[in-house]
Structure 1
Amino acid sequence: MTGQRRRGRARPPRQAEPRRPVRDEARNAAFDLLRAVRERDAYANLLLPRMLRERGLTGRDAALATELGYGTLRGLLTYDRIIAACSDRAPERLDPPLLDALRLGVHQLLATRIPPHAAVSATVALVRRRVGEGPSRYANAVLRRVAHRSLEEWLPIVAPAAEEDLVGHLAVTHSHPRWIVTALLDALGGDRAEAEALLAADNERPLVTLVARPGRATVDELVAAGAERARRSPYAAYLPEGDPAAIPAVAEGRAGVQDEASQLVALALTRVPVTGPDARWLDLAAGPGGKAGLLDAVAAQRGARLLASDVQPHRAALVRQAVRDAAVVVADGTAPAWREAAFDRVMLDAPCTGLGALRRRPEARWRRGPESLPELTALQRRLLEAAADAVRPGGVVAYVTCSPHLAETVVVVEDVAGRRGDLETLDAREYLPEADGLGDGPYARFWPHRHGTDAMFLALLRRTAS
């Protein structure tokens, strides 16, 4: 009709399309890291840097992925106890991807500054996208219960009382297996306060430490590239942030990444006076090459030559990347091809449980059990025997482990030296003037809570004329 507006049929209201959860690359990287460690027994410290590069994660995203991945791996035991208290199913009965996501969420809630609502919502979104809708509702319920208390409030609930079970209390409170807590307590003479400080230090993020290989790079060069001069090693610098490989000296192999204690125990070997010639040096189990790189540089300055050996071809390949003048061979150190008494200095960085590097290798505490010790300590004895055979009378052997476990350190050295009768134990502390708190001697021990380094053991042995 004229003058009237024609009414059409009312349109139905537009249905909102379901929103797809946004992919959170940092959390997805951390989640994939947890899955790879569980499913493929991957090494987090090797896998994560590659993942970050491949996914283009830098800056804050890379830092978040690193904190979430490494922090969650360190805290597994504690977090599982808390999840068990907030769930109607034991953690081991949960679908593994769901459990890993829950662990990631618990770490965000209890050990980071991420607001609780953001930690819960981001984790639930991750579970919805990567695991499923039903599991996401379960995750939401569990994490909301977790968020009711702080970590300090949860620990008395999930950990045994120290008065009733000290080892169990420390294990849950600091997320270490019981056998490792016992070993560390023994290594520290039963001192509970020191053990607690060490366990806490194991859960802290370590400094990235660089080494300027002498004659090839300088600490001043590393400082100019953004590093800070280190406290002890004359060749060390700390990198507060960024990718070490972006520093030209590191990219060119003139510098590298190496813990400060690792640098110092290698330098201690070079400082012991030897009678007679000092031209032939040996690194008996050199992979992956940190100590070999430093020894090679020092040897070159003195007119000496290093032979670096490893039984694994892929580890020997890594050594070749770290050295410039050394000869590198693939050989079994327990049945070497070289002559006996052929070397003036011998480095033996023996394969071990790695209990001293738990800060850098966060999943290592869950990888081995005490059942691995007999095989390892037997190998350590055979290698130390071979090192003692390889050094000439008047020469010196450094026996090093990145573990403070008494069975891998004092017991091995005293057993081999006691049976042979041609090894004199030197006071290793005399050759490490940069550091105090190394123990009562004659061995030197570095500790995370005392020195800010890996826990490392050093024995220096001079071969005497038999």
Structure 2
Amino acid sequence: MNYDGAARHDHSSRRNAAGRERNRGFGEQRNFSAAAPSQRKRTADKARLTAFQVLRAVSDQDAYANLVLPRQIRENRLDKQDAGFATELTYGALREQGLYDAVLQLCVDRPLSALDAPVLDALRLGAHQLLSMRVPAHAALDETVSLVRSQIGMGPSGLVNAVLRKVSRQTREEWIQQLTEDVTDESKIFSTTYSHPEWIVRAFRQSLVAHGRDVSELEKLLAADNDAPVVNLVALPGIGDLDEVFKLGGRKGKFVPDSAYYESGDVGRLNSVRAGVVRVQDAGSQAVARALADVELPSGTSDEEWLDLCAGPGGKASLLAALAAQRGAFLTANEPQPHRADLVEDSLGAVPQDAWQVTDMDGRDYGKDQTERLFDRIMVDAPCSGLGALRRRPEARWRKKLTDVAELTVLQSELLDAALKAVRIGGVVAYVTCSPHPAETVAIVEDAIKKHPNLRILDTAAALNSVIMTAPTAPGHTFNSGAASASTWTGNSIQLWPHVNKTDAMFLTLMTVDGPEES
């Protein structure tokens, strides 16, 4: 019997041929399994249950999947194979939620918002298995319905079974063709095909152009944004090593020194990670921190005081602190939000305590007294939209709004201003964002150049290329700046890309201050 989505009001039809009253679930006609009731599976397998639990936390609590999933894998005691399946299912269902919701809407007779949230999460998990995983259709259907029976109830299982059967009638490519056949706007087509909000597709198009790349790369960028990223690890210099990682199947990193790729399960099980001497950190983040730490100071004078102005949650701060400890320098890691400051302190725990301190000032308060230029190197890893890390934060693309970018640019500009007033004459400031959006990158630096006539852009490409192990990276945008005249100095910025560098889309510009500003 096919599910047609119509509520039935003929009460005599509630009984089957045997005279038993049917459970109508949502008050609507339901499918019967081919199996007898006593034989129907009512328990969820642990991998799918784990994925469902993570999606529920994301939906109900605004949780972050990358934080919840490892905990659920441990709590549910998944082995390596099941953990891999749960990870692919969780991240895939979240990452491609836009496409799956569009498909599901064609298979349900009401707005998806009218469905109970747990039912919608289960449908997304089923859709991902049917359309994007190597799971036989019968297994995807049976196991998802079993999950619904065990976690939501018998009633909704009929709806889920009927809807997913409709989903299974076409391939992913056929659904995309149906959804886009009458669409002429390329951004709308890409939005559906690669499951990104349309405004992000347009923002990526602008970003490629702003950073000197060909707009024809847009599809590759969107596709790379949907690839499951490999876990990147870094051993804190002088403190940790990667012996345990390599012994358990990790591979040597190809982008930056002291790094590794790890695909062998939950990194939280590694003793070195639990001890904090090996850390999970994208290779792009490692590279920008090393570039700041290694670039030659134009002043050639003291190199003792370093500042991470926006240190939370502490990834780059721990790497900078370890490098500072090796060189006899001292890092101040500043984070104004108390709970994030606690995370920073935890991250720095493995580094000798005489090499760092954590402060909780508003970063914009640094440099208010320009007579106290205290710092030789300053990292401004400014709060940003995070558009460069969507592949690692699969739910983020559906939470973010275009207005978020506009709201953040004011803060980004103020933080960079503060850093330029707090750095010693001849010191170095690194402006960093995990976003390629021109409003958060190029525009912020260009605005700083106009405000600070003593600012000079350094050769960022050369600084980055000196700390990476791959072929030199082409600069993303060229700025003209200088204390004497706008044409005296020519420097550049760097924009990393998932489809080019296999990293998050990190932006970096290194700059110095050549003299005091006129009062």
Q: Into which bin does the TM-score normalised by the smaller protein fall?
A: over 0.9
The TM-score, its normalising length taken from structure 2, stands at 0.83
Aligned counterparts of 2:68 and 2:205: Cα–Cα separation in 1:
31
* Contact 1:438–1:446 (8 Å) recurs in 2: no
CA deviation profile, 1:94-118 (whole Å, cap 9, x unmatched): 2222111111100000110010110
Which residue of 1 is the match for residue 513 of structure 2? Answer: 463
Aligned counterparts of 1:62 and 1:222: Cα–Cα separation in 2:
18
In 2 relative to 1, CA 257–127 (structure 1 residues): closer, same or farther, beyond 3 Å?
A: same
CA deviation profile, 1:59-98 (whole Å, cap 9, x unmatched): 1222222111111000111001111122222322222221
Q: Are 1:306 and 2:356 matched, yes or no? A: no
Aligned counterparts of 1:173 and 1:248: Cα–Cα separation in 2:
41
Q: How far off its partner does 1:159 sit? A: 2.7
Q: Are 1:94 and 2:126 matched, yes or no? A: no
Aligned counterparts of 1:326 and 1:142: Cα–Cα separation in 2:
56
Q: Which amino acid aligns with 2:357?
A: A
Aligned counterparts of 1:438 and 1:447: Cα–Cα separation in 2:
12
Aligned counterparts of 1:158 and 1:20: Cα–Cα separation in 2:
34
Q: Are 1:321 and 2:346 matched, yes or no? A: yes
Q: How far off its partner does 1:320 sit? A: 1.6
Aligned counterparts of 1:416 and 1:129: Cα–Cα separation in 2:
57
| Unmatched tracts of structure 2, length 5 or more | 1-35, 479-491
Which residue of 2 is the match for residue 436 of structure 1? Answer: 473
Question: Which of 504, 513, 516 is the equivalent residue of 1:454?
Answer: 504
CA deviation profile, 1:166-224 (whole Å, cap 9, x unmatched): 11111111111111111101001284431111111111110111111111123456424
SS in 2 for 1:407: coil
Aligned counterparts of 1:289 and 1:156: Cα–Cα separation in 2:
44
| Unmatched tracts of structure 1, length 5 or more | 1-14
SS in 1 for 2:365: coil
| Paired-residue identity, % | 49
Q: Which amino acid aligns with 1:351?
A: P
Q: How does 1:265-344 map to 2 (within 5 A)?
A: 265-274=288-297, 275=299, 276-323=301-348, 324=351, 325-336=355-366, 340-344=372-376
Q: How far off its partner does 1:131 sit? A: 2.7
* Contact 2:80–2:264 (8 Å) recurs in 1: no
Q: Which amino acid aligns with 1:85?
A: L
Q: Are 1:30 and 2:54 matched, yes or no? A: no
Aligned counterparts of 1:102 and 1:224: Cα–Cα separation in 2:
39
In 2 relative to 1, CA 211–154 (structure 1 residues): closer, same or farther, beyond 3 Å?
A: same
Question: Which of 163, 187, 206 is the equivalent residue of 1:167?
Answer: 187
In 2 relative to 1, CA 174–277 (structure 1 residues): closer, same or farther, beyond 3 Å?
A: same
Aligned counterparts of 1:446 and 1:214: Cα–Cα separation in 2:
23
Aligned counterparts of 1:117 and 1:180: Cα–Cα separation in 2:
35
Q: How far off its partner does 1:373 sit? A: 1.8
User: CA-atom RMSD, angstroms?
Assistant: 1.9
Give the paired residue count: 451
Aligned counterparts of 1:161 and 1:18: Cα–Cα separation in 2:
45
Q: How far off its partner does 1:438 sit? A: 4.5
Q: How far off its partner does 1:458 sit? A: 0.3
Q: Are 1:229 and 2:252 matched, yes or no? A: yes
Aligned counterparts of 2:475 and 2:52: Cα–Cα separation in 1:
39
Question: Which of 94, 100, 106 is the equivalent residue of 1:79?
Answer: 100
Which residue of 1 is the match for residue 390 of structure 2? Answer: 358
In 2 relative to 1, CA 61–224 (structure 1 residues): closer, same or farther, beyond 3 Å?
A: closer
Q: Are 1:238 and 2:258 matched, yes or no? A: no
Which residue of 1 is the match for residue 208 of structure 2? Answer: 188
Aligned counterparts of 2:196 and 2:40: Cα–Cα separation in 1:
41
In 2 relative to 1, CA 199–161 (structure 1 residues): closer, same or farther, beyond 3 Å?
A: farther
Q: Which amino acid aligns with 1:243?
A: D
Aligned counterparts of 2:68 and 2:179: Cα–Cα separation in 1:
32
SS in 2 for 1:394: strand
Aligned counterparts of 1:277 and 1:16: Cα–Cα separation in 2:
78
Aligned counterparts of 2:452 and 2:475: Cα–Cα separation in 1:
27
Aligned counterparts of 2:255 and 2:400: Cα–Cα separation in 1:
31
After the TM superposition, list the runs of 4 or more consecutive aligned residues in structure 1 that deviate by more than 4 angstroms.
15-20
Greater shift, 126-135 or 46-55, is seen at: 126-135
